[in-house]
Structure 1
Amino acid sequence: MTVALVPPAHSDELQISFPENHVLLLTLNRPKSLNAMTPQMSDDLGRALDWFENEPSLWVVIVTGAGRIFCAGADLKAWNKNQQAGSSKEQEGLEGDPYGFGSISRRQSNKPFIAAVNGGAFGGGTEIVLNCDIVVASHDAKFALPEVKRGVVAAQGGIPRLSHIAGHQLASEMLLTGRTISATDASNRFGFVNAVVPADQLLPTALAIAKEILSNSPDAVQSTKHGLLLSQKLNHHESFIKHAWSKVSSRVYGGENIKEGLKAFSERRAPIWKNPAKL
């Protein structure tokens, strides 16, 4: 018997659905405002993702946007009001928020995140995309980190992530000019988009990738993701040692799914994976 999942309370600025077993779909839902991030939407995302992290039956999350734009970034009109009133405290906010823009741009999750980018991502929207593991974009999608054009900085995690992915020179091209790039350039030159597809194939492609991940052991996938995160922070030897002795690695080698995977191989059949044990 399958138990129905009950997500945490959220406003209509976020849509939550389950398009496949083990898959959570989060849809930013302010289409008239091009899904510009509000405190409410960020809080909704934070609660939903904290729940996702702790729900063993959810293995992959897909993030997309309603309407014609994935996410236009921060609500600059609200930001302007705070600045003009002298009540803006950006640095304190950055330091006190471990998860970043939309509760995603600096989130260090062992579970895979897939971004399905419709139309475009700008500012914080691109910073969200840069911290996802796999990115699918529609042909018409565009990306930009235009903060310098508005006197602000892409400080929500986009600078180190883009530099790590694209290298210093290409990262500088986007960050220092504020230039908008196409989905094709984001894929071929900058390297942070995995697939560029027709708009009507965006979610089907993201779901197909999610299902490909789901065909693998969730224990092994989450341990592998943990290893990838460590490799961004530590040198080769340190990341190897820390990963080898991590809780997620211990769960792999002491869990049921490793036994099932090896047994299924011996029996020439598809494995039947179980939800990972809580760490």
Structure 2
Amino acid sequence: MGKADRKNPELCPPTHSDEIKVSFPREHVMLLTFNRPKALNAMTASMVSDIKNVLDWFEKEPYLWVVVLTGEGRIFCAGADLVDWKRREEAGATKDDQSVVADNPHGFGSISRRCSTKPIIAAVNGGAYGGGTEIILNCDLVIASDDATFALPEVKVGVVAIQGGIPRLARIAGHQLASEMLLTGRNVSAKDAATRFGFVNKLVARSQVLSTALAWAAEITANSPDAVQSTKRALLLSNQHGSVEDMVLTHVWSKESTRAFKSSNIKEGLAAFSERRKPRWVNPTKL
């Protein structure tokens, strides 16, 4: 990697409202912060639009390899802003709710069903509810404060956690534990989320949530971005294929796998290993 490659380039994310914040705290890492602390970072339609535009840009930016998601204030995300939802319905600004789900391939907050080949880390301060938990279930790594609580309480207000949360929780926790959360709508402690339900990787003090998530992001960016993104594609395919053989054959011919086999990073990794030095990775080529 040349000297110019090591410097943080001029990164210009799409224009967005102050409902989100975007920063670049580490090399190759983007931090996306939900920024409606007074509303517990509940999602509005405009906030979802901002997140979609920024994440679509992130996906295409070769310099950025990992995104960390967090929430400003005392909670990660309280789900949908039901007040905003009701206001838009009264104004006739919403369409059929089933169509909203079907026409949005990225899911709740433009995250809960997003199939990104770049790692997504959730830094969860205080907890998450409803769609906020659905977002977390689609993240690759979850760092949470030890006082956090989680819930999928949709049934309590007559709706359904249909933005990807149900199948993901069932795969992670199993049918019975998923049913415990989904059918009762009860709150789950951080400890139970980590040990019983299995969707939290690490619990830390609230003051250490973001720094820990960024440290894990740095650990990922120390690896070949081509290999990481090819591995992430394999993880996504593992959720789509019941057969190991089908998954392997689909993955080996994927664009990410082809790039990993043919990129300069695989040569650099092997050379660095034989020369007993740290590898000098370059940004992946655009697919």
Question: What is the TM-score when the length of structure 1 is the normalising length?
Answer: 0.98
Q: Deviations over 1:137-160 (max 9, x none)?
A: 001111000000000000111001
Q: For residue 78 of structure 1, what is the amino acid of its counterpart? A: D
Moved more, 196-205 or 83-92: 83-92
Q: Find the partner of 2:217 among 202, 210, 218.
A: 210
Q: Report the RMSD for the aligned CA atoms in angstroms.
A: 1.2
What is the identity percentage for the equivalent residue pairs of Structure 1 and Structure 2? 64
Q: Does 1:127 align with 2:148?
A: no
Q: Deviations over 1:151-204 (max 9, x none)?
A: 000011100110011110000000000010011100000000000000111011
Q: Could you list the runs of 4 or more consecutive aligned residues of structure 1 that deviate by over 6 angstroms after TM superposition?
A: none
Counterpart of 1:245 in structure 2 is 253
Pairing 1:15-94 to 2, within 5 Å after superposition: 15-81=21-87, 89-94=96-101
**Cα distance in 2 for residues equivalent to 1:6 and 1:88:** 32
Please state whether the residue corresponding to 1:170 is helix, strand or coil. helix
Aligned residue pairs, count: 279
- Relative distance call for 1:82 and 1:51 in structure 2 (3 A) is closer
**Cα distance in 1 for residues equivalent to 2:12 and 2:184:** 44
Q: Find the partner of 1:269 among 253, 271, 277.
A: 277
Counterpart of 1:145 in structure 2 is 152
Pairing 1:89-168 to 2, within 5 Å after superposition: 89-168=96-175
Q: Deviations over 1:124-145 (max 9, x none)?
A: 0000000000000001111000
Q: Find the partner of 2:234 among 227, 237, 255.
A: 227
How many Å apart are 1:30 and its aligned residue?
Answer: 0.3
Question: What is the TM-score when the length of structure 2 is the normalising length?
Answer: 0.95
**Cα distance in 2 for residues equivalent to 1:33 and 1:58:** 30
Unaligned runs of at least 5 residues, structure 2: none
Please state whether the residue corresponding to 2:67 is helix, strand or coil. strand
**Cα distance in 1 for residues equivalent to 2:90 and 2:178:** 31
How many Å apart are 1:80 and its aligned residue?
Answer: 3.4
Q: For residue 190 of structure 2, what is the amino acid of its counterpart? A: A
Contact 1:115 1:136 in 2 (8 A): yes
Moved more, 55-64 or 234-243: 234-243
Contact 1:35 1:71 in 2 (8 A): yes
